[in-house]
Amino acid sequence: MTLICVPITVTEIHTALADAQAASDGGADLVEYRIDEFFSGDGVEEDAIVGLVSKSPMPCIVTCRIGAEGGAYDGPEDARVSLFERLGTMADGGNAAGPRYLDVEFAAYKASANIRQKVNLAVRHPGQHRDLATSLILSTHDFDGRPGDLLRRLSAMDGEAAAAVVKIAYRARSLRDSMEILDLPRAFRRPMIALGMGEFGLMTRVLAPKFGGFLTFASLRPTSTTAPGQPTLRDLIDLYRVRSIGRETAVYGVVGWPVTQSLSPHIHNAGFEAIGHN
């Protein structure tokens, strides 16, 4: 089953917790706490983030995205890695509930053996000797378009033993880009999040369950998106009926340009639901 995750940009802890509860009430499976605007490397902020995770009303991903991949974090890398270590080991021995996943950029992960070792010590994987509850998402992002080394990059990420999930997101510039993105999860061994950003990428977010995507993102409200082309949770569940999409679901499309303003999804999806057509 493809999970639905609501990303939450953390600026205040109480607001983030309220949004997480709203995401849970709205039907999401987990939330992603984007802490890169909140965390600057300070120890007090680190304590607050640990508190946020421990009080989260639902399972969570914690992401501290660097600027090179679309995030806001520009603090010391050793402080960020130290935070990963603390979060990943929160549940060591069963004393507290840590994040379900840590999202770490593949470029940062492979930058040095020291960073790789410290991250690996904080997540669950076949070689881990501690009882940890947090797994690793290795991710890569390109806001310009399809990376020239896409398949080579994914193969390298797929080969990392500590990675539980591989994530690729890039700006889809055409229908062809989106079709390739949809095919990626079935081409590699590990569970994969494969999403297209921008208008052309919407179909990759809606059709992730049909093509075996591990997870898709939906914002809580139109003003809180964390990537171009991200639908709202309500639209993903109610308009596009993502919970009813599976491998056997038939896909219909509208041909034209532009089509973003078309009412066809509202009309056709309501009709399909009314007659029970998959």
- Residues 108-139: pLDDT tens digits? 999 999 999 999 999 999 988 888 999 999 99
User: What is the reported pLDDT for 92?
Assistant: 63
Q: What is the pLDDT of residues 171-216, one digit of tens each?
A: 999 999 999 999 999 999 999 999 999 989 999 999 999 999 999 9
Cβ distance 134 to 102 under 8 Å? Answer: yes
- Is the confidence at residue 96, as pLDDT, over 70? no
Q: What is the pLDDT of residues 213-262, one digit of tens each?
A: 999 999 999 888 878 789 999 999 999 999 999 999 999 988 888 888 89
Supply the pTM of this predicted model. 0.94
- Is the confidence at residue 68, as pLDDT, over 90? yes
